[in-house]
Amino acid sequence: MKALVFLLVLANMLFYAFSEGYFGQPENPDGGRLEKQVQPDRMRIVSRGEQPIVPAKASEAVQPAEPVLPKESKPEPVSKIEAVTQICLAWANLSSVEADRLSEIFASQFTDFKLVRRQAGGEANGWWVYISALPGKAEVEKKASELRQFGVTDYFVIPDGPNRFAISLGVFTSEKRGQERLAEVKEKGVRSARLAPRPGKDGTVSLQAIGPAEPKATLLEAVGKVLPKMVLEPCK
């Protein structure tokens, strides 16, 4: 019995000596302590009554916000206002045929110009519906044939004077009646017919054009080819 008690006491003493390291120490005696050491960077001293902060899980950790880049700013278009220089061109002492040819140049090539037509010298002899003078007799005969095909038979070819080879479709004392006649022949298909004051004896026409200055040289060249004797007059 005494031997059993002795053995128990000896076993306890051996276990105590082993646990206290009397039988040898590991190469790094602080290794075990580091595993048990509390991480100081996670420690936070709180005041009395303050709730401790529970660390969030890795999946719930707040992601760093992406930097907000400023939107690329585009320069606002600058409105550019360019002043357009206007010019005034005038021609005087024109026959009605010359005035018509000049008007056709503006209507076909220089539409930015505004034309003002005035009767000058001599009193107007009413209004007339007509087709502008044609280059020659052959062209007049061809046009007359077309008029007959359209059903227009009451016309008159002017044989001489400033309106030579123009075709008159009627002379009227009032503009209203002339407009009615013009609408009538156009409805039949005569697209080249015009209405204008009919110059009296020695009567002439003045024409004034107002528009941009840029095409002036080209305009005068075009006019010179059709009406080489035309002379510019000062605008009034």
Most confident of 43-52, 77-86, 135-144, 161-170: 135-144
Higher pLDDT, 67 or 97: 97
State the CATH class of domain 126-198: alpha beta
pLDDT(43) > 50: yes
- Residue-level pLDDT at 69: 55
pLDDT(142) > 90: yes
pLDDT(61) > 60: no
Query: pLDDT tens, 19-28?
Result: 666 655 555 5
98 contacts 230 by C-beta, under 8 angstroms = yes
pLDDT(193) > 70: yes
Least confident of 117-131, 165-179, 181-195: 117-131
pLDDT(219) > 60: yes
Fold adopted by 83-124+200-236 = Alpha-Beta Plaits (3.30.70)
Q: pLDDT over 90 for what percent of the chain?
A: 16
Residues of each domain in the chain carrying CATH 3.30.70.120: 83-124+200-236
What's the pTM value of the predicted model, to 2 decimals?
0.42
